[in-house]
């Protein structure tokens, strides 16, 4: 199932849309990260510069000694987790955070210098800092440094990730689900076309794919398929007409030959007469097979199965007696009605009974059994159906062929197609003394078995 799904257009669309969505989300996340990192760096530099300028302002505006003048700003730096130092080129550190006895960064003759250090002795972590020159009678440098993580803007980044990342994941799932729904809706007309194609068979070549709801690019393919079906239907119909014409043309000469053989007293005439009977039956089955393509019935076409069975038995009784067989009808005391085409059911049952008469031994009985299922079963005492034919019943439906010696091969095919047209099925089996063929009709509302008591 998975391998079959991977080869479908739906699967390719889903994978493609999912890949595009994931790449788009990843690209957006990368862009936001780069932008945030840029803003983060600028914000960090501005924070360092702001503290350094405050230190310079405290020194320049206060008359107090430098260590006292910078205490307020120094306290704020310490509260934020930072470190500072006021460094004189000649005197060294004149004020600074606790434990600072040397410049944080080598002094350079520039107004400001951003620097990064792998670690400091106090916090053992990488730090970012700024060395800021304070102009005055005695040049000084205000140096401020913060660890890489505790800075305020790093906390903002961490909080942003915690608050927004889960929404990002949910948003990605929503996009993927939307892509699945869009792909399914877009391909729904194709699914309907596939269902229509699956209903096309040898008995329904007149079906065409619906063209009304399909996108323009798919409509071109569907129209091409419909044109191919038109050509196929035309060729199929021409073949059927040819077979039907041949069968009709054979009936008259066969009847003439049979009449001539009937008045002949030669022993060979009796043997030839049996052969011509088989030929006549073959011609009749060909005609029955051709008529199946025109089978139609309405909801008010009610067929009483017991009545049909008795009529067929009465029709074939002379044939059974002539061959030394007996024929009986079992069941049917309570009428069982179905919706269907009476003439076609008659022909199908006639073919089953003819097969049974042909294969059952002389002086044996062919039984026609009626049930309220609704179904009609024909049981004989012949050699039964071949094992290969019985095993084929569980496979995809194919036309039945008798497979029994002396059979012409069309009878069961006619019955099977008749049952398919009635939403039923033909079941075949072997019992202890012969063969059993069951015409099992549908019991659903459209094709309902009913009794007179109802």
pLDDT per residue rounded down to tens, the chain (454 residues): 444 555 566 677 777 777 887 787 778 777 777 776 676 677 788 888 888 888 888 888 888 888 888 888 888 888 887 889 988 888 888 888 888 888 888 888 888 888 887 765 455 667 888 889 888 778 889 889 888 754 455 556 566 666 666 677 787 788 878 877 877 777 777 777 777 777 776 656 677 877 776 777 677 878 888 888 888 878 777 776 776 677 667 767 777 777 777 777 777 777 777 777 777 777 777 777 666 666 777 778 899 999 999 999 999 999 899 889 999 999 988 888 999 889 889 989 998 999 899 889 999 999 999 988 899 999 999 888 888 877 766 554 455 545 544 444 577 888 888 888 888 999 999 988 899 999 999 876 334 433 333 3
Report pLDDT for 416.
87
Give the CA-trace dihedral at 67, 70, 71, 73, to 10 degrees: -160
In angstroms, the CA 207 to CA 223 distance is 13
CATH class of 9-154: alpha beta
Enter the CATH code of domain 199-294. 1.10.287
| Half-sphere exposure for 43 (CA within 13 Å, toward CB) | 14
Q: Is CATH 1.10.10.60 correct for 297-451?
A: no
Report pLDDT for 47.
84
In angstroms, the CA 259 to CA 404 distance is 29
Encoding tokens for residue 311?
């009529």
Domain ranges of the chain: 9-154, 199-294, 297-451
Residue with tokens 């497979």: 403
In angstroms, the CA 20 to CA 39 distance is 28
Report pLDDT for 313.
95
Q: What three-state secondary structure class fits 365?
A: strand
Fold match between domain 199-294 and domain 297-451: no
161: Cβ contacts below 8 Å, ≥ 6 apart: none
Report pLDDT for 376.
95
Q: For the whole prediction, is pTM greater than 0.85?
A: no
In angstroms, the CA 191 to CA 213 distance is 12
């Amino acid at each position: 199932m998975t391998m079959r799904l991977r080869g479908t257009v739906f699967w390719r669309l889903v994978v493609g849309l999912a890949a595009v969505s994931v790449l788009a989300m990843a690209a957006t996340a990368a862009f936001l990260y780069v932008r945030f990192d840029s803003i983060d760096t600028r914000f960090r530099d501005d924070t360092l510069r702001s503290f350094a300028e405050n230190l310079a302002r405290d020194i320049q505006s206060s008359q107090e000694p430098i260590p006292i003048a910078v205490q307020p700003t120094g306290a704020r730096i310490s509260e934020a987790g930072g470190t500072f130092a006021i460094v004189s080129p000649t005197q060294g550190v004149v004020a600074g955070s606790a434990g600072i006895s040397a410049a944080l960064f080598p002094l350079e003759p520039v107004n400001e210098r951003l620097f990064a250090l792998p670690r400091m002795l106090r916090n053992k972590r990488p730090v970012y800092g700024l060395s800021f020159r304070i102009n005055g009678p005695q040049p000084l440098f205000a140096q401020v440094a913060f660890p890489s993580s505790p800075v305020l803007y790093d906390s903002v980044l961490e909080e942003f990730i915690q608050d927004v990342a889960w929404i990002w994941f949910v948003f990605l799932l929503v996009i993927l689900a939307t892509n699945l729904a869009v792909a399914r809706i877009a391909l729904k007309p194709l699914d309907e076309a596939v269902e229509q194609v699956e209903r096309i068979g040898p008995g329904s070549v007149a079906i065409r794919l619906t063209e009304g709801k399909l996108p323009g690019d798919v409509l071109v393919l569907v129209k091409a398929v419909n044109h191919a079906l038109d050509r196929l239907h035309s060729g199929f119909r021409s073949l059927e007409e040819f077979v039907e014409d041949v069968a009709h043309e054979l009936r008259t000469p066969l009847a003439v030959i049979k009449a001539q053989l009937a008045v002949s007293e030669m022993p060979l005439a009796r043997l030839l007469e049996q052969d011509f009977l088989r030929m006549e039956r073959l011609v009749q089955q060909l005609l029955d097979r051709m008529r199946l393509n025109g089978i139609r019935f309405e909801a008010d076409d009610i067929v009483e199965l017991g009545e049909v069975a008795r009529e067929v038995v009465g029709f074939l009784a002379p044939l059974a007696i002539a061959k030394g067989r007996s024929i009986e009808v079992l069941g049917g005391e309570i009428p069982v009605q179905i919706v269907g085409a009476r003439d076609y059911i008659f022909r199908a049952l006639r073919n089953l009974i003819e097969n049974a008469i042909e294969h059952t031994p002389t002086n044996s009985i062919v039984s026609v059994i009626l049930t309220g299922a609704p179904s009609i079963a024909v049981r004989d005492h012949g050699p039964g159906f071949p094992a290969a034919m019985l095993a084929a019943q569980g496979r995809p439906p194919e036309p039945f062929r008798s497979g029994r010696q002396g059979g012409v091969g069309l009878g069961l095919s006619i019955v099977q197609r008749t049952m398919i047209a009635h939403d039923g099925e033909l079941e075949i089996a072997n019992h202890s003394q012969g063969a059993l063929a069951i015409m099992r009709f549908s019991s659903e509302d459209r094709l309902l078995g009913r009794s007179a008591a109802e």
